[in-house]
């Protein structure tokens, strides 16, 4: 009686069974890696702006305080993008003919706001309040990185749900003293004042029975 299967059939069967198990697992691992990559989260990306604004020059070299432009950061949910007249406070006198500032001058002349593109983006279903974080000692650098060293602003954190929740689960190490909230590198050389303020915030959170990982904290 002739042989129904070739000698290699057993090997093919073994490879087929292995593929049935390994291919879905490999696809799941690849999908997870892609989901966490900067390609999806935006971490590390730059965004072309109508004006190539340099935080390094303005906030770093010139020492302009974040709050001069982002006036809402201590009082409301949005940090606020500065209006054109804020830019022209200086640039009506400095670099008045610079080509790169032509959109700013045109914006002022036409009464139309500059169309800045958002760099750090959260989904519409996620709520973030700047002033709540700032007044509780979470520094700007926790989410935005050291912008004073950035010639062009980039997204420095993944801003995923896991990333946010990891901080909400254990926020004490992310809190600094109020006077260091706007520092360039607030987590370097943490001080006794940082630790004392962080402990006081944790005690107050516990006293009020707040659970920072509740869904309603960020989803409203």
Predicted confidence (pLDDT) per residue in 12-31, tens digit: 767 777 778 777 777 777 76
> Is it the case that residue 44 has pLDDT exceeding 70?
yes
Asked if 144 and 155 count as a contact pair (C-beta separation under 8 A), the reply is: no
The DSSP code for 116 is P
Of 2 and 116, the structure prediction assigns the larger pLDDT to 116
Residue 68 CA: distances (Å) to CA of 76, 99, 183, 208: 15, 24, 14, 33
The backbone torsions φ and ψ at residue 106, rounded to the nearest 5 degrees and listed phi first, read: -65, -40
Whole-number pLDDT of residue 4: 62
Whole-number pLDDT of residue 217: 92
Lowest-confidence range among 9-18, 41-50, 200-209?
9-18
Check the CA dihedral 37-40-41-44 and report its sign. positive
Output 182-185 pairs: Cβ under 8 A, ≥24 positions apart. 182/65, 182/66, 182/67, 182/139, 182/140, 183/139, 183/141, 184/60, 184/141, 184/146, 184/148, 184/149, 185/141, 185/146
Mean residue pLDDT across the chain: 90
pTM of the predicted model over 0.85? no
Q: What does the alpha-carbon distance between residue 98 and residue 73 come to, in Å, rounded to a whole number?
A: 30
Whole-number pLDDT of residue 31: 65
Confidence tier at 135 by pLDDT (50, 70, 90):
very high
200, containing H or E segment: helix 192-207
Confidence tier at 3 by pLDDT (50, 70, 90):
low
> Is it the case that residue 113 has pLDDT exceeding 60?
yes
Asked if 201 and 185 count as a contact pair (C-beta separation under 8 A), the reply is: no
């Amino acid at each position: 009686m002739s042989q129904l299967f070739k000698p290699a059939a057993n090997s093919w069967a073994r490879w087929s069974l292995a593929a049935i198990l390994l291919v879905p697992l490999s696809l799941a691992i690849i999908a997870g890696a892609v989901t966490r990559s900067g390609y999806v989260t935006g971490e590390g990306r730059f965004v072309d702006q109508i004006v190539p604004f340099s935080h390094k020059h303005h906030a770093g070299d010139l020492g302009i305080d974040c709050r001069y432009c982002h006036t809402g950061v201590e009082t409301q949910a949005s940090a606020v993008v500065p209006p054109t007249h804020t830019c022209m406070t200086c640039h009506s006198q400095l670099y008045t003919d610079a080509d790169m500032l032509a959109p700013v001058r045109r914006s002022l002349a036409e009464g139309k706001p500059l169309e800045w593109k958002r760099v750090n983006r959260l989904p519409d279903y996620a709520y973030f309040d700047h002033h709540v974080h700032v007044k509780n000692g979470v520094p700007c650098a926790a989410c935005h990185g050291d912008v004073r060293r950035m010639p062009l602003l980039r997204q420095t954190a993944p801003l995923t749900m896991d990333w946010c929740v990891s901080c909400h689960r254990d926020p004490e190490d992310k809190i600094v003293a109020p006077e260091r909230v706007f520092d360039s590198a607030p987590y370097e050389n943490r001080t006794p004042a940082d630790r004392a303020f962080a402990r006081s915030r944790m005690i107050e959170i516990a006293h009020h029975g707040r659970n920072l990982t509740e869904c309603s904290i960020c989803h409203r």
